[in-house]
Amino acid sequence: TDPHANVTKIGAVGYCMSGPFVFAAASQFADRIQCAASIYGANLMTKRDDSPHLSANKIKGEMYFACAEIDHYAPKETIDALDAHLKTCNINYRIEWYPGAEHGFAFPDRGEIYHKPSAERHWSRLFDLFQRNLRDGD
């Protein structure tokens, strides 16, 4: 009922283990999801039959991947392979590295893992993504 809401434009965001969920949802609901962000997503590209990268070519919306420099759940080799794969899919995406950040950097309650500069940057990127893809011209 919010006059600013548009039910035909959906944005999604996932952190850690929900990162691959929004990645997969963006392909499975490509006509509805205008954009999705995976923040230090784990298991974005696996050898399993249901790996989300396998259906990435169906994505119509914009994808954003925020990757922590120090992340044993999503090591650089995996993200580099994901990048190479996505280049073959003809989709609108961006992979961005967060230098000095560890997996879980976004939330202050994470103690020493919290990385304020990266946390602030990821919020900025997320809000920009939503602004570009979800707002109607006003």
Domain annotation for the chain: domains and CATH numbers: 10-134 (3.40.50.1820)
Encode pLDDT of 74-106 as tens digits. 999 999 999 999 999 999 999 999 999 999 999
Encode pLDDT of 46-67 as tens digits. 999 999 999 999 999 999 999 9
When pLDDT is cut at 50, 70 and 90, the band that residue 123 belongs to is very high
Hey, what amino acid is at 121? R
Nearest alpha carbon to residue 39 among 21, 57, 54: 21
**Cα gap 15→1, rounded to integer Å:** 28
23 has pLDDT over 90: yes
Is the overall model pTM greater than 0.85, yes or no?
yes
